[in-house]
Structure 1
Amino acid sequence: MRLSTKGPRSQSAQLFRGYAAYSLGFVALVGLLSVLEVLGLARQWIGYVFLLSTVALYAGIGIMCRTSDPVEYYVAGRRVPAFYNGMATAADWMSVASFIGIAGTLYLTGYNGLAYILGWTGGYVLVALFLAPYLRKFGGYTIPDFLGARYEGNLTRLIGVLCAVLCSFIYLVAQIYGVGIITTRMTGISFELGIFIGLGGVLVCSFLGGMRAVTWTQVGQYIILVIAYLVPVVWLAVKQTGEPIPQVAASAVLQQVTERERELTHDEAERQVRALWQTRADAMQVRIDALPSSFEEEKQRLHWRLLRARANDAPMAEIRSLEREYASYPSSIESARTVWTKAREDFSARASPPVPHADPFASKNPVSSDAARNNFLAIVLCLMLGTAGLPHILMRSLTTPSVSEARKSVFWSLLFILLLYMTAPALAILIKFEIYSDLVGIPYAQLPAWVNAWSAVDRSLISIVDLNQDGIVQLAEVQLGADVVVLAAPEIGGLPYVISGLVAAGALAAALSTADGLLLTLSNALSHDTLFRVVSPRMGAGRQVILSKMLLLVVAFAAAWAATRTPADILFLVGAAFSFAAASFFPVLVMGVFWKRANKYGAASGMLTGLGVTIYYMVQAQPWLRELVLGVPTGVPVDLWWHIQPIAAGVFGAPVAFVVIVVVSLLTPAPLAVTQQMVDYLRQPD
């Protein structure tokens, strides 16, 4: 999609016609696949068509927008209209974790899940008020560019590069990991092959055209992901209430969900199942307390159970289950402690009654409502500051034609993001209503087909076990993963499989769009901000772009390699990116714009101190990270500060960074007069 050299109105009209044709073409593709499904097209082929056609669309846009011009490559020529930049920013923001995870989190945690929506959308208000217009007025290519100019030299620039790499790389790994999962579920191909097919689509866009190609690809990706998200939730709304507006439909069924939760809390069969889960949790605690002797004892007991089942010609399903359990038995005492502690926590959680969906600060964890409220507010604040500090989001404000367009762009971004985020709570409620009314209470012999289909894909997505052997599904016997709420929504609602393929295509678009922006941020930080600005300032413009493209390839394959290692607790790592951005970038950028006395010593000290406090809290508060870094066994209780979860560690780092910037700046020489004049210029009215 080439930007026109004509006037703004002519350019906007050309863009509108192009993307309108693109949208109609995609809708026609979905319609054609629906007809072919009715005629007998295999589900696997529907997945192949969605995967290949969407990746080909994105690659085609990337090829059309190829460039070697530095201004086009780094900031899309600063000619992107606010409306389309807002759409691209929304796609850049709508990662696979947001697309799939928000509704699932709201399903599992109810009211408390609103912290993520409030934090992530509220962050864009901070961007509009405190950062986007001023960064656009500065006119650099990257966020470290601004830090280097505002704080007089390469010290703060290089610390900014370090923070950008830290924030962006772990986020990029999560997106590529999501690409592998989605492509595998769409087509059945291997996880590793799915990663590299998706990575190919990312590279064609970012490698050939930089920010120019990424921008126009992200606009196309947003169109696909918003269609994919809205179709199943509107269908569920109409199915349950006859109302096509999901938010109105959800408000109508929320009272029924609340009443059903009260019934299930006091239902005798539910109480029986929860008691059985508590018995299992207690048994796990006995194992943990008996370590190390219990390690060998449990292994021998499991081995004898397997031998006895084989000798007695037990059902093959029972034998296979025991074989899998024996093969996956922990390899060491410490790993047994970790596995058994997790099992105890899972069993304890399932032994608790359902969390009331509409009750503020309700939780299965034994904490007070005040502690739950503090944690809710901490997550909101941390995600707001982190969103406003993520470099791949802030870079988008540099692509607009003017400062006023940058402000408008943030408005459009917020509007496009809210279109999905205000729908996610409705989807969570509608899916919960389906589960309570169509799954809980039915005989196991009548389980819907989608249950077996998704449990066969991954037992972590949905697991149902008849614990009390009564042949009836109880809620306490159903374990639903967060991801399945969105991915299985079409099948839960009775829609044809082609809509499931559409949802997977939307999730793929969300993953690829964010990966595009992150990949560009990383390669620019390493090439433009490090090699060109610091190592070789006299490097020619053409060579800069070539070097940036080479580093982009290196970063892409490094992230793909990391994703294939199947990193543990990937969602925590994504959350860590927000804490790192909140504690490092946000304070130094805000102080750089609004306090001209801030100097390079204060900025450098504040960024490092804020980052250090954040990392320290994460290490001592996240069980698996504490075990990895400090060697403390997972079973040892975690000491949380004011019950604040480690995902919100940035709330401790950010205030420290602000204080250190002020104190160190006042104790050291003031910035040069020309630097203070630049700050005055940035804050002048447009």
Structure 2
Amino acid sequence: MDWTMFFVVTTFALYIGIAIWAKAGSTDDFYVAGHDVHPTVNGMATAADWMSAASFLSMAGLIAFLGYGGSVYLMGWTGGYVLLAVLLAPFLREFGKFTVPDFVGDRYYSNAARLIAVLCALFVSFTYIAGQMKGVGVAFSSFLGVDFNLGILIGMGIVFVYATFGGMKGVTYTQVAQYCVLIFAYTVPAIFMSMIITGNPIPQLGFIGNAAGEDVAMLDKLNKTVTDLGFLEYTSTNKSMFDVFAITGALMFGTAGLPHVIIRFFTVSSAKNARVSAGWALVFIALLYTTAPAVGAFARINFIDSVNEATYIQDGVDYEAEAAAIAADGGKPVPQWYKTWEKTGLLSYDDKNGDGIMQYRGPNAPDGIENEVVPNRDIFVLANPQIANLPGWVIGLVVAGGLAAALSTAAGLLMVISSAVSHDLCRRTFFPEMNDSTELLVARFAAAGAVVAAGLLGIFAGQLGFVAQVVAFAFGLAAASLFPIIFLGIFWKRMNKEGAIASMVFGLVSTFAYIYYFKFGGGTPDQYLFGVSPEGIGFVFMWAAGALGIVTALVTAPPPQDIQDLVEDIRVPGTRQPHGEADAGMAPMPAE
């Protein structure tokens, strides 16, 4: 606990100090960090923005317990970032509009389209941020000994300071620090565990190598272990191939429509630097994403070895004395880490046969014993160092890393929400005469209000599912509502405002209704459309929304000629002047 407090307090002080140092003095600083962030620095900040609590806390946990089925998150998010970096980011940067609604409003020459894009961005951002705040609650609830909801409130306070004071300038440099914290926190315990389980200090190689001291592949050993307990093979899945494809697609194309990632490419000085920044971000992201499969496999092995067939020690009993007595009698006591996490409500044990022995089994256990142990997948990156009996400083470091991952993405999302309210709604739509200082004040108030709403959503997110699943819903909404009109707005000059509005409305409403029905409305898996789960339905509706937009555009009037010329121009870097007048408070984009 001492190490945990040290790392958490130290990193929080660092974040707040950076925010004070980088306090935004203009809307240019607040929204896009003055357009002067170095591409390498921006790549690191983008990686932190991108690698949320879902990546740090939940993805490895899902891979640990779903095996191959959990790899959809890894494949979808990795492929999605490549798609965004190559296909959309440079052209959006060339267009010169730093928010998605601003791009939509100008590209589709319509305030109505802008307002609908704002609504889509807010839906996506608030759904995404709910998962981040849930991750903050998970981290705080165990290691600081506070209630889950109180943990979220503490996280809200920290984000409030550096998002409202520093704006995008403060958030950018804070995210650089958070990346350093989270990547170190993720890889150090992975190296320890790889050495213990495989004898190889490189987790990526240990994952595909042999178990330590044995002439058998680590994955083969894991497959045998889980099938002996009645689970599916680790390297297989019970999801249909189309559902796996749909979830991967929703995560990929949803990435390309995420406003908080897109806005990061406007903090650099040109479209060329946006490409360089995207390349650096991919390098920084790869450090974690190539480690995650190994972390997931090691977590599953450690959990089984640690819990299964252990004698449970009741609360109120002297743990140390009871554990020593059980061990002296040749038994295995329930580990201390389990008792610690059990207090959070994120682990449960039901002694169904009354023997006091913890039976961890799958649905097809050969011995016919029922499962008695139910773990929450979100805890396993945080719990891994404890399960593996790693040093206390490693445990504290991992907690700080998990909080860094959640807070960095939450801050990026808050900037999207703030800019949508202050810039797209107020200055660009309802109050065009608003001056720069007033807009900055509104932006700060909007960020503060968004922090409060985010905390409430984080508390509510506990009912939705695991962090990665909550975040997957945001990606589905982005894929169906925003990706089609961004893609068509760049690559098809015939796309018009009527098509964009029809596409966004259909994509948002259909995807949200499907998710709501199957999560809260009583829908059952046998009713899934084409067998696609709520996590993947955004991919299906994305194609339908795009088709509807194209058909609508073809049967209505084409866009004005200047808009069609603009679409031609943005695909040739450095050849266009900023479209129309530069936004108030925003410097025109320099040519490369």
Q: Do these two structures clear the TM 0.5 threshold for a shared fold by scoring above it?
A: yes
- The letter of the residue matching 1:48 is M
The 5 Å alignment of 1:88-487 reads 88-252=45-209, 253=211, 255-259=217-221, 261-262=223-224, 265=227, 353-359=230-236, 362-363=237-238, 372-437=240-305, 439-440=307-308, 445=326, 446-447=332-333, 449-461=335-347, 463=349, 465=351, 467=353, 469=355, 471=357, 473=359, 475=361, 476-487=371-382
| Mapped partners of 1:496, 1:675: distance in 2 | 61
1:545 counterpart letter in structure 2:
L
Contact 1:451 1:462 in 2 (8 A): no
Which whole-Å deviations, capped at 9, do the CAs of 1:460-492 have from their partners, x for residues lacking one? Answer: 335374747385755444433212321111112
Aligned residue for 1:647, secondary structure, equals: coil
Q: Distance in 2 between matches of 1:388 and 1:376?
A: 19
Superposed displacement of residue 181, structure 1: 3.0
Q: Which residue of 2 aligns with 1:275?
A: none
**Is the CA contact (8 Å cut-off) linking 1:614 and 1:650 kept in structure 2?**
yes
**C-alpha separation in 2, matches of 1:568 and 1:436:** 26
Q: Secondary structure at the match of 2:217?
A: helix
Write the deviation string for residues 600-635 of structure 1: whole angstroms up to 9, x where unpaired. Answer: 111111111122222233244x1x4214xxxxxx7x
Give the letter for the 1:255 counterpart. A
Is the Cα–Cα contact under 8 Å of residues 461 and 483 in structure 1 kept in the other structure?
no
Q: In 2, distance between residues paired with 1:482 and 1:374?
A: 24
- If the length of structure 1 is used for normalisation, what is the TM-score? 0.75
Equivalent AA in structure 2 for residue 146 of structure 1: F
Contiguous gaps of at least 5 residues in structure 2: 313-325, 327-331, 362-370, 575-592
- Give the equivalent residue in structure 1 for 2:589: none
Q: CA deviation at 1:565?
A: 4.9
Distance (whole Å) between structure 2 residues aligned to residue 358 and residue 565 of structure 1: 33
Within-5 A mapping of 1:590-605: 590-605=487-502
Q: Which residues in structure 2 correspond to 1:662-681 (within 5 Å)?
A: 662-681=550-569
Q: CA RMSD in A?
A: 2.2
CA contact (8 A) 1:84 1:219 kept: yes
Q: Which residue of 2 aligns with 1:345?
A: none
| DSSP-derived class of the 1:527 partner | helix
Equivalent position of 2:394 in the other structure: 499
Contact 1:258 1:356 in 2 (8 A): no
Structure 2: distance between partners of 1:666 and 1:412: 40
Distance in 2, Cα, partners of 1:672 & 1:530? 24
Partners of 1:616 and 1:62 lie apart in 2 by 39
Q: In structure 2, what is the Cα distance between the partners aligned to 1:519 and 1:492?
A: 35
**Counterpart among 73, 86, 98 of residue 30 in structure 2:** 73
| Whole-Å separation in 1 of the counterparts to 2:28 and 2:64 | 44
Give the structure-2-normalised TM-score: 0.86
Amino acid paired to 1:533: R
- Contact 1:145–1:157, Cα closer than 8 Å, also in 2: yes
Cα deviation digits, residues 80-121 of structure 1 (max 9, x gap): 122111111111111112211111111111111111111001
Distance 1:463 1:500 in 2: 24
Q: Distance in 2 between matches of 1:256 and 1:173?
A: 36
Amino acid at match of 1:356: E
Secondary structure of 1:488 counterpart = helix
SS at match of 1:479: strand
Mark the CA change 1:681 to 1:473 in structure 2 (over 3 Å): closer, same or farther.
same
Q: In the aligned structure 1, how far is the partner of 2:307 from the partner of 2:459? A: 35
Deviations 1:180-201 (A, max 9, x none): 3322322113444432322222
* Letter matched to residue 221 of structure 1: Q
Letter aligned with residue 60 of structure 1: G
- Aligned amino acid, residue 666 of structure 1: L
Q: Are the counterparts in 2 of residues 606 and 658 from structure 1 also a CA contact under 8 Å? A: yes
The Cα shift of 1:580 comes to 0.8
The whole-number CA distance in structure 2 between the counterparts of 1:92 and 1:540 is 30
The answer for the alignment partner of 2:420 in structure 1 is: 525
1:494 alignment partner, SS class: coil
Q: Which residue is equivalent to 2:486?
A: 589
State the AA in 2 paired with 1:98. Answer: S
CA contact (8 A) 1:173 1:560 kept: yes
**Cα distance, 1:496–1:146 mapped onto 2, change above 3 Å:** same
* Distance change in 2, residues 1:441/1:193 (3 Å): closer
Aligned partners of 2:40 and 2:280 also within 8 Å: yes
TM-superposed CA distance for 1:214, in Å, is 0.5
Does the residue aligned with 2:482 lie in a helix, a strand or coil?
helix
For residues 20-58 of structure 1, the C-alpha deviation after alignment (integer angstroms, 9 at most, x for no partner) is xxxxxxxxxxxxxxxxxxxxxxx2x43333332211110
Q: Name the CA distance, whole Å, in 2 between partners of 1:260 and 1:576.
A: 31
Query: 1:143, 1:213 → 2: CA distance?
Result: 21
Q: Do the aligned partners of 1:108 and 1:482 also contact (CA within 8 Å) in 2?
A: yes
Cα deviation, residue 127, structure 1:
0.8
**Residues 152 and 434 of structure 1, relative CA distance in 2, 3 Å threshold:** same
Change (3 A) 1:373 1:682: same
Q: 1:263 to 1:492 in 2, by over 3 A?
A: closer
Q: 1:660 aligns with which of 523, 541, 548?
A: 548
CA distance in 2, matches of 1:470, 1:551: 53
Gap change, CA 1:550 and 1:576, over 3 Å in 2 = same
Q: Does the 8 Å contact 1:466/1:472 carry over to 2? A: no
- Decide which moves more: 212-221 or 454-463: 454-463
Which letter does structure 1 place at the counterpart of 2:560?
L
Q: 2:65, 2:300 within 8 Å by CA — same for their partners in 1?
A: no
Any idea what SS the aligned residue of 2:74 has? Answer: helix
> In 2, are the aligned partners of 1:47 and 1:501 still within 8 Å (CA)?
yes
Q: Residues 53 and 549 from structure 1, CA distance in 2 versus in 1: closer, same or farther, beyond 3 angstroms?
A: same
- Kindly, what percent of the aligned residue pairs are identical? 38
Where structure 1 has 5 or more consecutive residues not aligned to the other structure, the ranges are 1-42, 271-352, 364-370, 628-633
Whichever residue aligns with residue 224 of structure 2, its letter is R
1:509 equivalenced with 2:404 (yes/no): yes
What count of residue pairs does the alignment treat as equivalent? 540
Deviates further, 502-511 or 491-500? 491-500
Structure 1 residue 668, shift from structure 2 partner:
1.1
CA distance in 2, matches of 1:263, 1:211: 48
Q: Is the 8 A contact 2:337 2:386 kept in 1?
A: no
What is the one-letter code of the residue matched to 1:539?
Answer: M
Structure 2 counterpart SS, 1:646: coil
Q: Which residue of 2 aligns with 1:291?
A: none
CA distance in structure 2 between the aligned counterparts of 1:615 and 1:397, rounded to whole angstroms: 28
